């Protein structure tokens, strides 16, 4: 019986801009349900690598497969469908829509995936309870603390049960204690759903939670040593 392909597979992927080469000959496989952390200096290419994996950008060369499909062979419309159905994104800046309530923000991916109103309501209410924020559904983002807003951003990223979550500096705007809570929440939520999690971060606290830590040095990816 043939094994399923890994959710993420990069083969000799490079990315260059007018300013120069950002990533060179990156080869990487990430297993289903694995939590992988990317570390490196600012400007080292962590966000670029996440953007490539998420189909938000395309490699200059090499092959990138997501869930068994070659992203480099797909149209932008096809990549957009994969992002909508199979990916969740968490960013440093929470990117919540200020004119929508908490519950409306969380439900957005379900609406894009044509989930019925009753199921969408049940899923989002349960997720709010899991987050310890059951009484916040009717509030607006500006009424929440930074940590609470990031919890809602995580809920929005996982509500449609994606295969992969990509997180780019998700605790960059949070104090240390709040950051620890948010990282633990993201880790636990993805593991409970069997979701593959790839996170770019400067935070050392996350390393103990990860299955694997990779570092980008001089455009190349390598396994971090303890």
pLDDT at 2: 55
pLDDT of residue 73: 85
| pLDDT tens digits, one per residue of 60-81 | 999 999 998 898 888 888 888 8
Q: What is the mean pLDDT of residues 103-108?
A: 91
Q: What is the pLDDT of residue 225?
A: 59
The pLDDT value given to residue 116: 86
The whole-number pLDDT of residue 97 equals: 92
Domains, in order of start, for the chain? 8-97+161-223 (3.40.50.300)
- What CA–CA distance (Å, rounded) separates 153 from 68? 27
Give this prediction's pTM.
0.90
Q: What is the mean pLDDT of the chain?
A: 88
């Amino acid at each position: 019986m043939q094994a399923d392909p890994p959710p993420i597979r990069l083969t000799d992927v490079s990315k260059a801009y007018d300013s120069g080469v950002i990533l060179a000959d990156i080869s990487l496989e990430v297993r289903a349900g694995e939590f992988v952390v990317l570390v490196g200096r600012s400007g080292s290419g962590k966000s670029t690598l996440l953007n490539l994996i998420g189909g938000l950008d395309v490699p200059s060369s090499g092959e990138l497969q997501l869930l068994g499909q070659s992203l480099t062979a797909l149209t932008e419309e096809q990549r957009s469908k994969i992002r909508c159905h199979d990916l969740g994104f968490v960013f440093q800046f929470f990117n919540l829509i200020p004119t929508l309530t908490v519950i409306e923000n969380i439900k957005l991916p379900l609406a894009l995936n044509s989930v019925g109103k009753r199921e969408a309501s049940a899923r989002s209410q349960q997720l709010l309870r899991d987050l310890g924020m059951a009484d916040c559904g009717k509030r607006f983002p500006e009424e929440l603390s930074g940590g609470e807003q990031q919890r809602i951003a995580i809920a929005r990223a996982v509500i449609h049960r994606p295969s992969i979550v990509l997180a780019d500096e998700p605790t960059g705007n949070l104090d240390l204690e709040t950051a620890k809570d948010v990282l633990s929440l993201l880790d636990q939520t993805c593991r409970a759903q069997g979701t593959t999690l790839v996170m770019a971060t400067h935070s050392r606290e996350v390393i103990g939670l990860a299955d694997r830590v990779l570092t980008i040095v001089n455009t190349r990816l390598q396994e971090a040593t303890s």
